């Protein structure tokens, strides 16, 4: 499978589509999900062209991988969902491929919280 340069997150990264940015570092970008499924619902993406978590972990540089994990920490700090920030926790999801119900073929983490998540994001549909 080759990377689709016309996916919506590629367009956001090129500045062709706006996003509600909450954090950015050298290799990563975080913005609000356009259709939030929780009080806090943030997407964190690498700026490089990676289809999914498998592609990212196999092909990204150490700096890109560290940068993305730092972005997760920063997003949890900004949104105060982490217990270290006084929050009650959160769900970190990487939907992957067809069986994982991944809609946008550019690797992304969902950070969801700000309220009890129950089985949201996990339930059979």
Active site residues: 108
Nearer to ligand AMP, 61 or 100 (CB): 100
Report strand pairing: 21-24 vs 28-32: antiparallel
Nearer to ligand AMP, 25 or 102 (CB): 102
Burial class (CB in 10 A: 0-12, 13-18, 19+), 120: middle
Shortest distance (Å) from residue 40 CB to ligand AMP: 13
Nearer to ligand AMP, 99 or 103 (CB): 103
Catalog residues that contact ligand AMP under the rule CB under 6 A: 8, 17, 19, 33-35, 43, 95, 101-104
């Amino acid at each position: 499978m080759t990377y689709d340069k016309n996916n919506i997150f590629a367009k956001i990264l090129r500045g062709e589509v706006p996003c509600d940015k909450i954090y950015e570092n050298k290799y990563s970008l975080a913005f609000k999900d356009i259709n939030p499924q929780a009080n806090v619902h943030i997407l964190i993406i690498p700026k490089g062209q990676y289809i999914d978590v498998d592609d990212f972990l196999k092909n990204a540089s150490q700096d890109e991988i560290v940068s993305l994990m730092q972005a997760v920490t920063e997003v949890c700090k900004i949104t105060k969902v982490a217990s270290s920030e006084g929050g009650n926790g959160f769900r970190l999801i990487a939907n992957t491929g067809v069986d994982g119900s991944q809609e946008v073929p550019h690797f992304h983490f969902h950070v969801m919280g700000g309220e009890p998540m129950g089985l949201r994001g996990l339930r059979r549909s």
